Amino acid sequence: MDCGTCETPDSVQVVTPEVVNVNLTISSKAQEMLGNAFGDDRSMALLVGVLSGGCSGYVYDLQIVESTDQSCQEVVIDGFKVLIPNASSHLLDGIEIDYVDRLMGGGFRINNPNAESSCGCGESFA
């Protein structure tokens, strides 16, 4: 209930990012590792998303899923289904999904031409 003595706050304007048709590539090493993860079941998909957080502002979120409730684009590369949420498409257009072997274990790495900066671990970006 408004008593009339307090200032009314300004409305919050929500800006929805423009949906971009995503182009992406998957390195041969990443395809090999995805092949190991998927096996012969190509009904599953790799969901490549972005979450707020990390030391640079955004964190990549890779999941193997059967389906998702998010509005996504589907890209098929050499038989692998990749889902990109439309809300993150402007951040993920042009990425390369790679797999890097490291001394303490390997992992997927995203090479992103849209990232203005990234942290030393390579898992978050701005």
pLDDT tens-place string over residues 44-61: 999 999 988 766 578 889
Domain extents in the chain? 25-125
pLDDT tens-place string over residues 56-87: 578 889 999 999 999 999 999 999 999 999 99
16 — pLDDT class (breaks 50, 70, 90): confident
* Long-range Cβ contacts of 57-60 (<8 Å, 24+ apart): 57/124, 57/125, 57/126, 58/91, 58/124, 58/125, 58/126, 59/123, 59/124, 60/110, 60/123, 60/124, 60/125
pLDDT at 106: 80
**At the fourth CATH level, which superfamily is domain 25-125?**
HesB-like domain (2.60.300.12)
